[in-house]
Structure 1
Amino acid sequence: MKTILILGGSFVGVGTAHRILKQASKTGPAVKIILVSPNTHLYWNIAAPRALLPGQFTDDEIFQSIPEGFKQYSKDQFEHIVGFASSLDVANKKVEVSADAEGTKPVTTIRYDFLIIGTGSRSKEFDEDVKAPVKGLGSTEATKDALHEFQELVEKSKTIVVAGAGPTGVEIAGELGYEYRKSKKIILVTSGNTVLETAIPSVSKTALGMLRDLNVEVKLQTKVNRSSRIKREGPNQIEISLSDGTTLSTDLYIPTSGIVPNSSYIPDKYLNANGFVKVDEYFQVKGLENQHVWAIGDVSDLESPQLLVADRQSGHLAKNIGLILNNNAPLLYKGGMRGMGCQIGKKAGTGHLGWVKLPSFIVSFLRKNLFVEKLASTVDGSAY
């Protein structure tokens, strides 16, 4: 029996575990999956831009238990260990797992035959004392607590500034504009010439128009220099300094620019300058070719972090592992067509596939619930 260790309990880790187990039960030799993650529940952070607002989703709609999702497998097939990967020893095929992110609490050593790194990414750290849980914050309890706290702040705030006009920033601004266009002032600040700069021009133009239709004030070619909390009675206790020499006063500031890979436990020689794992077109970690160590999803450097990309990578890697277990050669990963979709409020959206702009009603229809309906089938494996 081969032991396959998967690091990371988000969409890509959970999905890959189910795919391998289902595949092995039909055609392959016996395997045991050990899934290591600090979270007990999968957080459907794809819906985070809407979940940040109060009253949009219940906890049960965006958090589901990982152990419950794998209860159909025996202990010989699946084990979930709650903890943080603290070090990786590829020479001896082992990973040390700590009970805390700093690695100061008791450590468990896990040995593996195959290793899949899927620890994802986190939002870039800023100086603000309030964190928007756009991604998981380690444990499920920490993420839930932060989400509830943030929802209360949104409810109380009269002015909200969002910085960064990538898909996350645009979706958050769109949700805020749709829900509060008549009661709160929503401002989106971006250093770019438009929003969604990585999209095709027609999509960027459409998104900008949709935001303005929702009464979102968009400040283009403007960079946030710093933000600071000031001692002032009443509202507008955060002051934001902008690159044009002006300042904004706001109740809530939501920076969305940039992600950081969760790769601190991996030796530096396997990481690029930004900390992402360097992989080849088989998802093998460069420098560890043919040693059965792969990295997929946000933590790897192969493709942009998107749900459809992660799902495609997960499916391909699971298939390759099945081939390897049956002594067959793995297949080269060729990726897919470039594209994106962005929901802007509950009734509008835009996106493209390749260089073709998608009709707004199609994007909005597909993304109207931000795919929360897929959470249960992802966690229990019935989606695969």
Structure 2
Amino acid sequence: MEDINVNMLTAQVLWAVFILAFAFGALGVRTQFCTMGAIADVVNFGDQRRLRMWMLAIGVAVLGFNLLVAQGSFVADRTLYGGDRWLWASALVGGAMFGFGMVLASGCGSRNLQRLGSGSLKALVVLVVMGLSAWMTLRGLTAVLRVNSVDAWAITLSTPQDLPSVLASALGLSTGQVALGLGVLVGGGVIAWVLSAAEGRERQVLLGGVGVGALLLAVWWVSLQFGHLAEHPETLEEAFLGTASRRGEALNFVSPVAQGYEWLVFYTDAGRRTTTGLVAVLGVFFGSLAVHLVRREFRWEGFRDTADTARHLVGAVLMGIGGVTAMGCSIGQGLSGISTLGLTSIVALGAIVAGCVAGLRFLSWQLERSM
């Protein structure tokens, strides 16, 4: 394959991810898909509609990804969430920080991109601060703290740390066989739970859950199949075109915002590349903007007061540090990572939910105290 063909294929990968992220942003606004909102609805009002929408997206993603592993199209160990290191402490600490922070910041990175598309200057400030904190945790001061603390407590396994690989090794079966069983058991079980209640079968719940899950699988296909080269003509090594990690990637909205800083600051650097993560960030923003403009709902929004500003700033810092430490956000680990059934992703998702619940309790305590 000639260089020009590689460049053309990379451009096609980037455009494909942008279009899928545009659809993700538009669908998120249309259905009010939001991880924090799903948990908050249950904690504050006992309403499970958005929870079932979110869980349906997880079920579709887990089922679809693992069926494709069984079929031979996907390999979990080739993704950003692969490898043989179980980063349990990083996932636990980073996930809890992210979950707590997204409550203070009125939503995760994806949700703030959608809110920015509606004219929220609050969301812009959150994204700027989150991105700077994430950049520091990738390459700066907090990166040193991360590497020398929680990252050092990882457990190195004898197999890739996704659950199908671990169980396949223990049971003497093929990874594909176990992936098929777990995909049907876990993904199918979650889908069955969602559909078991009338509210889980509502049109908006089905649209949001199935739509988001399907879009995530489409991004995985673009990265792991369409953009995959068994042998890059320049390096003669396996390559995943357009990804920052040089592994398969889906949707994530913390590290890619930090990549945006590097892209802007080092734009003239010949080695600086536009990545799938960066175009996904832009896609979600423009998808949200398009919906709000069509609906004539675009309105400028600012902070209410100093306390509101401070709360969002703290939340943004926690999301930036926590999202990088946990290797993903409520979308990055909560959907993309969990679809691979990686052990790190399982811990991260649980920690994000726990941190979110703690954040909601904290805000309730603050409200009661001020009355």
Give TM-score scaled by structure 1 length.
0.30
Q: Computing the radius of gyration over CA atoms, which structure comes out larger, 1 or 2? A: 1
Comparing both structures, which one devotes a greater share of its residues to helix?
2
Give TM-score scaled by structure 2 length.
0.31
- Structure with the greater relative contact order (CA < 8 A, sep ≥ 6): 1 or 2? 2
Comparing both structures, which one devotes a greater share of its residues to strand?
1
